Amino acid sequence: MKFIYRGRIAVFSIRVLRDERICVIAEQRPDCSEEESFQWMSRVLQAVDSIHQVGIYCLALVPPNYLPKTPLGGIHLSETKRRFLEGALHPANVLMCPHTCVTNLPKPREVHSGNYHFPSEKWFHWHGERGF
């Protein structure tokens, strides 16, 4: 059984924590169940990782004929990316996998006694869980 319409897939990158991350948006068939969708998405993640050694940041499935088209009928990538970034795609299923591709997380800040980054830190230092 086919889950995705052939040729109705958009792949682009977005900037997250100063690096480019891969997003895949595909039109899913209307008769596809949620379980089948997530099985397909899991297989795509594994295939991309094993073949290309890169992680996908977001894999989203939208309803049929939902992706914007060019005048010649192809996928309009820049418009799809714009809608994704604005939260206007309204996908039916989404699989976010930041743990597979975000490897440059900043180190946590160390709080030294007397050096407070926020006013609330000073309050908690003096009052702790006791409150007032």
Give the tens place of pLDDT for each residue, 107-124. Answer: 666 655 555 555 555 545
Q: Please give the angle made by the CA atoms of 74, 45 and 50, to the nearest 5 degrees.
A: 110
Parse the chain into domains and list their residue ranges: 4-105
- CATH dotted code for 4-105: 3.30.300.30
- Give me the half-sphere count of Cα atoms (radius 13 Å) on the Cβ side of residue 119: 0
Residue with tokens 């596809």: 32
pLDDT tens figures, 22-69: 999 999 988 888 898 889 889 998 898 889 888 888 999 999 999 999
